[in-house]
């Protein structure tokens, strides 16, 4: 059974296969699954916009708690099933859920006359960031593992600031959080891709989840900024 799982990239290692081959396989599978995960994300966002989906609208505190509960339930399930095809199913279900959660922002941006263009700009900018960070992670000889603690602290501070702004409603704080989030999650792309390249992460489902969250946050925050500074109602 283990050998069969390893054949499809679910396991940690395969006997008789070099470390380089294993790392390349995990990286290739990660990129493929990351690309596939965009399909349910787009589908979820489209359904959310079309149906006017709103997650506990008017109760942001409860909405945040419920969102975190669902997200961490997915994380737990994906981690428990990461060595089987069920892990892929749960990951794709999670990306659909995240698409639904993104639909409110997309719907707001689409209210602008140039909304579709702003979404494409955010997509292009995110793709450029991912391409640049993934390339650096792949070709650089520098070890970026030391970023882990700083990035983790940064994410905690971002969460605290975001929660505080639910009640403060300060536009300047929202802009600051989005700018910093783009920087932090761009660096996380660098960190997470290099973990795969260096063999620190050998399960492509786990790797895909990490990189997906990085890309998702870069896109969402970039789109928010474009909506604030580039939105037009003409």
Per-residue pLDDT reduced to its tens digit, 185-214: 999 999 999 999 998 899 999 999 999 999
The pTM of the full predicted model, rounded to 2 decimals, is 0.89
Per-residue pLDDT reduced to its tens digit, 7-37: 444 455 444 456 888 888 999 999 999 999 9
Residue among 214, 2, 31 nearest 126 (CA): 214
- What's residue 225's pLDDT? 96
Domain boundaries of the chain, sorted by first residue:
2-230
**Nearest-angstrom CA–CA distance, 63 and 55:** 6
Q: What angle do CA 58, 60, 64 make, to 5 degrees?
A: 145
Which CA distances in Å does 54 have to 21, 185, 221?
A: 45, 25, 19
Structure tokens at 175: 């802009």
Structure tokens at 35: 């690309």
């Amino acid at each position: 059974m283990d050998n069969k799982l390893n054949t499809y990239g679910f396991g940690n290692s395969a006997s008789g296969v070099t470390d380089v081959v294993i790392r390349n396989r995990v990286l290739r599978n990660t990129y493929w699954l990351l690309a596939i995960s965009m399909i349910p994300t787009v589908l979820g966002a489209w359904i959310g916009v079309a149906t006017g989906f709103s997650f506990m609208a008017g109760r942001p505190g409860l909405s945040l708690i419920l969102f975190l509960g669902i997200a961490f339930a997915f994380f737990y399930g994906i981690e428990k099933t990461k060595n089987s095809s069920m892990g892929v199913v749960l990951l794709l279900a999670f990306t659909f859920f995240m698409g639904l959660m993104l639909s409110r922002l997309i719907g707001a941006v689409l209210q602008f006359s140039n909304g579709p263009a702003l979404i494409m700009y955010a997509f292009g900018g995110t793709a450029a960031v991912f391409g640049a960070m993934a390339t650096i992670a792949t070709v650089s000889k520098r070890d970026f593992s030391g970023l882990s603690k700083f990035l983790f602290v940064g994410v905690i501070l971002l969460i605290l600031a975001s929660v505080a702004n639910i009640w403060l409603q300060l536009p300047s704080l929202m802009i600051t959080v989005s700018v910093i989030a783009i920087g932090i999650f761009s660096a996380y792309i660098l960190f997470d891709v290099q973990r795969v390249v260096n063999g620190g992460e050998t399960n492509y489902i786990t790797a895909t989840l990490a990189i997906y969250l990085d890309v998702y946050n870069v896109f969402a925050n970039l789109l928010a900024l474009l909506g604030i500074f580039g939105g037009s109602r003409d």
